[in-house]
Structure 1
Amino acid sequence: MYSQVTVARAGKSERIAVVTLNRPDKLNALTKVMEAELRDAMEAVDRDDNVRVVVLTGAGKGFCAGMDINELEVLPPGDIRAAQWMRPFDMNRRADYQTRYGYFPAMRKPVIAAINGAAAGLGLVFALYCDMRFAGANAAFSSAFARRGLIAEHGISWLLPRVVGPGHAADLLYSARKVLADEALRIGLVDRVVDADALMATTLDYADDLAENVSPRSIRVMKRQLWEQPFQSLAEATRLANAEMFESIQSEDFTEGVAHFIERRPARFSGR
């Protein structure tokens, strides 16, 4: 179906969708074709109720080396609100996620980046738009922009300080230096580091636990809560949480959550 992206099912019940950037000879450098295919693939797996977790990774020895230098484009200032980036089925209440890569946080499912090598420029942007980042010990990160005469694009100046703090964000953006996996873990850029050979197995084990044992309805609501939180006051976040808790208690997943705990059996969550 795609020429530069692949989609495969994984996990005990094939409830994990593994989306792979597939230009290994170019370290998965982004092209216009790959960008369009990635968006289509991510939105397709988000619509699929049989998919509960999405893993994003790269083929070969790299995650994504950034934009293909032969396809660099000059984005007009109005691009952020261009019609092609709007989502008719947006699952997130905020207009802030109606942007070029805002479909990542607007997805209903958790997205885990399995970073198997270089993540530079747009590769770093994609990783930051994911909910979690697992890295192989061979992973390396760089914003790259300052060394190309560019700026912090696609909202990375908003995302990066919220992940690593303002000081580390300034360092990584200003210097555009290479950050290896151990430092990335220390500053919070990634959530865990494992041997390169164990990266996909570790990521899929974690994703499988989410897919099999956790309410997809709960994750759907909590993901929205986490991504909306930076725009809210404590009072607003609390009021919305109380309303969501009321709805949760009426849900099928709450009934099943109590039942499987009392009956000491595996959960059978419906997502409703």
Structure 2
Amino acid sequence: MSNYSDILYAVDAGVATITLNRPDRLNAWCASLDADVRAGMRAATDDPAVRVIVLTGAGRGFCAGADMNVLQGIQDGDTSTRPTAPETPWDTSAHPDFQKQYSWFPAVPKPIIGAINGPCAGLGMVLALYTDIRIASDLAVFSTAFARRGLIAEHGISWLLPRLIGMANAAEILFSARRIEAAEARSLGLVNRVVPHANFATEVQSYARMLAVEVSPRSLAAMKREIWNAQLSGLGAAIDAANIDMKASFATDDFKEGVAHYLEKRPAAFSGR
């Protein structure tokens, strides 16, 4: 799929940027946006030139959550515009828990950077938490929103949020649904970095391109799988899985290149093989 109605899709220097493109509605989530993001992620996954994915929003917001028209339709008994779970899983080799309607980001075998450029609420916050690394503009504002809509801790956020910020902080944020400014989000561990808005896009792309050029794409894919799968297993299982992966990595071109470029004191030229 190359024509999208609700996202912008661009690839440059090994980085695919998927931009939620409903700025007049603060990129509120709906069925067509859901389908476009899935298609964009699939295109980035299948493109060997893409090594890193950036997910961001057009205009002044990241994602304001579910479109209120969708919520109104659900209240009126019309679910035709509500996003639905895909008929087929993202990746049949991924853990079943990462095959759900909104939990499939961890099954994408390339790192996803959430570039939180502005307001990020409700379902938008859930999606941001499923990204691997989050960089926020200093104008970003976060809210779970659910309690103020008569809803619950949706789509796995009750599992994600305590792992990021602890049980008590997660409970307080979910119960109150209050606004969280970017600086507090950083102090809590909701985001990795906060960047001045004037430099935001440049800083995000610079970091993404560093990952695309300076590290092994094979290592990135393996580490992403290891990190997410380890959340669903014990320490022993994580060690056993890593031992299998380590043995396999010794036979790869990227391992040979990783040693060679270090010894030869030159930039790396990883192939992903």
Q: TM-score band (shorter)?
A: over 0.9
Report how far residue 102 of structure 1 moved: 2.3
Which TM-score applies when normalising by structure 2?
A: 0.93
Give the structure 2 partner of residue 71 of structure 1. Answer: 70
- 5+ long unaligned stretches in structure 1: none
Aligned length: 265
- Give the SS at the match of 2:226: helix
The correspondence of residues 10-25 of structure 1 with structure 2, limited to 5 A, is 10=12, 14-25=13-24
Q: Is the 8 A contact 1:111 1:132 kept in 2?
A: yes
Supply the distance in 2 between the matched residues of 1:145 and 1:211 (Cα, whole angstroms). 36
Superposed CA RMSD: 1.9
Report how far residue 169 of structure 1 moved: 0.6
Q: Is the 8 A contact 1:29 1:67 kept in 2?
A: yes
The correspondence of residues 1-272 of structure 1 with structure 2, limited to 5 A, is 1-10=3-12, 14-72=13-71, 73=74, 84=87, 86-87=89-90, 89-90=91-92, 92=94, 94-272=95-273
State the AA in 1 paired with 2:253. Answer: E
Report how far residue 127 of structure 1 moved: 0.5
Q: Which has the higher mean CA deviation after the structures are superposed, 229-238 or 218-227?
A: 229-238
1:106-158 deviation digits (Å, cap 9, x = unpaired): 01110001101100001101110100110000000000000000001111110
- Give the SS at the match of 2:168: helix
Q: Is the 8 A contact 2:28 2:65 kept in 1?
A: yes
State the AA in 1 paired with 2:57. Answer: G
Relative to 1, partners in 2 of residues 1:234 and 1:152: Cα closer, same or farther, differing over 3 Å?
A: same
1:230-271 deviation digits (Å, cap 9, x = unpaired): 111111111111111000011110011011111111111111
Q: Is the 8 A contact 1:64 1:118 kept in 2?
A: yes
Q: Is the 8 A contact 2:141 2:181 kept in 1?
A: yes
Report how far residue 103 of structure 1 moved: 2.1
- Give the SS at the match of 2:245: helix
Supply the distance in 2 between the matched residues of 1:230 and 1:81 (Cα, whole angstroms). 26
Supply the distance in 1 between the matched residues of 2:107 and 2:52 (Cα, whole angstroms). 14
Supply the distance in 1 between the matched residues of 2:11 and 2:46 (Cα, whole angstroms). 15
Which TM-score applies when normalising by structure 1?
A: 0.93
Report how far residue 84 of structure 1 moved: 2.0
Relative to 1, partners in 2 of residues 1:195 and 1:201: Cα closer, same or farther, differing over 3 Å?
A: same
Q: Is the 8 A contact 1:91 1:108 kept in 2?
A: no
Supply the distance in 2 between the matched residues of 1:4 and 1:29 (Cα, whole angstroms). 10
Q: Is the 8 A contact 1:256 1:269 kept in 2?
A: yes
Report how far residue 197 of structure 1 moved: 1.4
Supply the distance in 2 between the matched residues of 1:82 and 1:44 (Cα, whole angstroms). 19
